[in-house]
Structure 1
């Protein structure tokens, strides 16, 4: 359950409507809309080898497990084109984000794009400063010139279309234990390749009109005198 302090109502509404207005745009290969989000992945392995299924007997897995650390998944998804790609990294620092944003801008898929609209949450690493920390000023400026960054509001990361895609990835790739970053990367790569082949899109239902009805308490009240 998310809660928005009253003093943040106006800022939330403004940011929300900006994001939703982006989602109203028709597909345009010259100005593609790409959503980005990231998610930690806990790596755990079996403390004892599982016993396989046998005729008349189910498989058995010991409830104890061994912690193998963490890794991080950076998700990029173009909802109207049915394309996504996920990168698994050891860390999720500002430099990691900067290098993946450079990868996105330089991706052959967007070679003819005039500008990429990037929708992401307002995590402190998702900023121009991260690019200038990672690259020379000329390169950072070049990358920024290709981007229109649109942030979801604070307490409103659920407005990011990459979130449901991460949820699908988690359910379909990590229903059992994964003990290494290499195994996590292998599963995720096969997963997004299959979804890209099917051109699975995202059927986003929440519109500006819905927001003005369902979240009307957040909108300023104009008192007539």
Structure 2
């Protein structure tokens, strides 16, 4: 007699089995194993993959140690709209907003008006002052300074900051600035400069004081920045005159007790009596309108002293067009700050040593303000000037 056949129990297969394409299987498997995939998304992907293998909802829940409702939820969502978008969180309503868009706009508009227009004895707004005024004006009943600060940051508004500026007063600003920018581009009157023509940017850094600290400065240490004593004794001051070759990135400097025509002429002589400037066809000296080299008389003095030297002035209140100012900012950061010098001789030696060090590795500045930028700037300024002012 043949023994009866034993029934082998089969794994329960869900009636709503998920079907995945080979591409979907590869992509979901990659995401489930990736270390950068968020944990909740990896769990939902695992539910879909197990469902595609024919596992029941109960088996998936037991295997992943989750409740049956969770497994059924993400299985159901995938079947409804197959794709990764089905495994994302749905939008939630969240807490209803306390402030209307109109109130937000009113606060931003208030921040863009001077505080004095609201009758306050304030030069500029702060976030707490804005919050107080918003409540006073009846825009809202209650608001915090941090909320206002967050709203203003959305528009990059910082009414507690201010910046000074100066309006163009030179009637020949465009012409003068154009000549300087052309020289930086090695042009003069529409003609390229020759190899034996050079451009020098010169100016003075006045009143560099020697401040001898009452106690020695402490070097930096672990979790401690350099410390400089606040008290000091004045040990005199010097002026630093510098001439910067724009295209060769070479600096010529000297220290004097004061500025003026004589010290500046000494700087010019220091440069023009050495090669390649002595035998150059032309050497253009870009200077600002300081008293040491102002006006037509300064141009004539330079031409009489050195016939191959041509003085070119920047527009009034436009020293930022003078490239030597960039070098002065480097000197200020790297040499003069913090100011702790026993006397002016120490300053003089320090500046001379820095010149030598700088000239060994210096490269020309990457001057990016071109004549095109100048024209755009003047056009924006004209539009600003033509705007009608409020009565």
Scaled to the shorter chain, the TM-score interval is 0.7 to 0.9
Q: 1:137 — aligned with what?
A: none
1:175 to 331, 337, 344: 337
Q: 2:198 — aligned with what?
A: 32
**How far did 1:187 drift?**
1.4
Q: 2:26 — aligned with what?
A: none
Q: Which runs of 5 or more structure 2 residues have no equivalent in the other structure?
A: 1-163, 187-191, 384-391
How many residues were matched structurally? 212
Q: 1:76 — aligned with what?
A: 243
Q: What secondary structure sits across from 2:258 in the alignment?
A: coil
1:60-79 deviation line (CA, Å, top 9, x unaligned):
54311111221111011112
Q: 2:276 — aligned with what?
A: 109
CA 1:120 to 1:187, structure 2 compared with 1: closer, same or farther past 3 Å? same
The 8 Å contact of residues 272 and 306 in structure 2, kept in 1 or not, is answered as no
2:350 to 170, 182, 187: 187
Aligned partners of 1:66 and 1:89: how far apart in 2?
21
The 8 Å contact of residues 10 and 218 in structure 1, kept in 2 or not, is answered as no
Q: How does 1:1-225 map to 2 (within 5 A)?
A: 1-5=164-168, 8=169, 10-25=171-186, 28-40=194-206, 41-50=208-217, 61-127=228-294, 129=297, 142-176=304-338, 177-218=340-381
Aligned partners of 1:123 and 1:117: how far apart in 2?
17
Deviates more, 1:103-112 or 1:86-95: 103-112
The 8 Å contact of residues 303 and 310 in structure 2, kept in 1 or not, is answered as no
Aligned partners of 2:321 and 2:299: how far apart in 1?
24
**How far did 1:39 drift?**
0.5
CA 1:47 to 1:21, structure 2 compared with 1: closer, same or farther past 3 Å? same
1:168-214 deviation line (CA, Å, top 9, x unaligned):
01111012222322111221122121221113221111000011112
Give the TM-score normalised by the residue count of structure 2: 0.49
Q: What secondary structure sits across from 2:209 in the alignment?
A: strand
Aligned partners of 2:303 and 2:247: how far apart in 1?
28
1:77-126 deviation line (CA, Å, top 9, x unaligned):
11211211221111112111122212222123313202210001011220
Please give the root-mean-square deviation of Cα atoms over the aligned residues, in Å.
2.8
Aligned partners of 1:201 and 1:97: how far apart in 2?
23
Deviates more, 1:99-108 or 1:33-42: 99-108
Q: Which runs of 5 or more structure 1 residues have no equivalent in the other structure?
A: 134-139, 221-225
Q: What secondary structure sits across from 2:374 in the alignment?
A: helix
Q: 1:136 — aligned with what?
A: none
1:30-79 deviation line (CA, Å, top 9, x unaligned):
11001001102122101234456788987654311111221111011112
Aligned partners of 1:11 and 1:130: how far apart in 2?
18
Q: What secondary structure sits across from 2:290 in the alignment?
A: coil
Q: What secondary structure sits across from 2:247 in the alignment?
A: helix
Q: What secondary structure sits across from 2:372 in the alignment?
A: helix
Higher relative contact order (CA 8 A, sep 6+): 1
Give the TM-score normalised by the residue count of structure 1: 0.82
Aligned partners of 1:180 and 1:72: how far apart in 2?
13
Q: What secondary structure sits across from 1:215 in the alignment?
A: helix
Computing the radius of gyration from Cα coordinates, the structure with the larger value is 2
